[in-house]
Amino acid sequence: MRREIRLKQATGFDLIKTVPVHCVSANYDMTFHKYRYSVRHNRRINPYRLGFANPFVDTHFNLPYEVICITEAQKYLNSRMSMYFPDWQSRWYEQHGHNNLDIYLDTQRPMLIDVNIRELSQFIEVVSLDIEYNQYGQPSKLIWLVRRINNSSQLDKYMASGKQDRSCYTEDVVIADYNVFACYDSQCCKPKFYERHLDSDYDYTEAVPTEQSFEGYVRYLQEFDDELPDNFYQRRNISRNQLNA
């Protein structure tokens, strides 16, 4: 990475003044530790802004040989929204290898990922995780059993067999002799559960029930609310600013 950036500086990229301090980007925070080295952090990115420059969305300027990690990837590469998948991002994924990028997508169900991306991908399924703890009760070693699937055709065959077809994968053991959980925030999405509820209390819609609202409070707890809320299926027409208002 450093060598290619130096080359770009020497051949006309006047705005690239330095070699960056990070080589990993992600949509969550990570911390990297190595003995006798200073702590490193990742660059925080928005996966919606990955792609080639275009007149519609400001995109990230990616580093050569960059590692990009996206958690909950189905949010950004939603297979149900394939017809709206922008060409400037689709082509970027198709050609990311030309800039020596490594991209890791984390999802519970790969079939939720846009088919154009799945067809470019290799797959790693976590089968099991064993954690060893030290004397203080902290994780000290993690051992994963994983299955590696080479392409989307093999994935489709594997899923159709109920994950039983052994010809579709190879198994591997991955070991980390340190506490991986100390390297990233596993609850980085937790604040989303509390947005727009800072003035609310549990089991009630008002922060402090008043005498006038007590009758409504009792009725609220007693009623079985299973009706479709107004505007439920219009959520996608609301801008991000309106949603956070």
What is the Cα–Cα distance from 70 to 107, expressed in whole angstroms?
A: 9
- pLDDT confidence of residue 243: 46
Q: In a 10 Å sphere around its CB, with 0-12 CB exposed, 13-18 middle and 19+ buried, how is residue 12 labelled? A: exposed
Total Cβ atoms within 10 A of residue 109 = 9
What is the Cα–Cα distance from 40 to 22, expressed in whole angstroms?
A: 7
- In this structure, which amino acid lies at residue 52? F
Beta carbons of 40 and 20 less than 8 angstroms apart: no
In the chain, which stretches have pLDDT less than 50?
207, 237-238, 240, 243-245
- pLDDT confidence of residue 234: 62
- pLDDT confidence of residue 201: 73
What is the Cα–Cα distance from 20 to 210, expressed in whole angstroms?
A: 56
What is the Cα–Cα distance from 96 to 47, expressed in whole angstroms?
A: 14
- pLDDT confidence of residue 45: 92
- pLDDT confidence of residue 22: 84
Beta carbons of 111 and 121 less than 8 angstroms apart: no
- pLDDT confidence of residue 218: 54
| Residue in 10, 81, 28, 8 with CA at minimum distance from that of residue 187 | 28
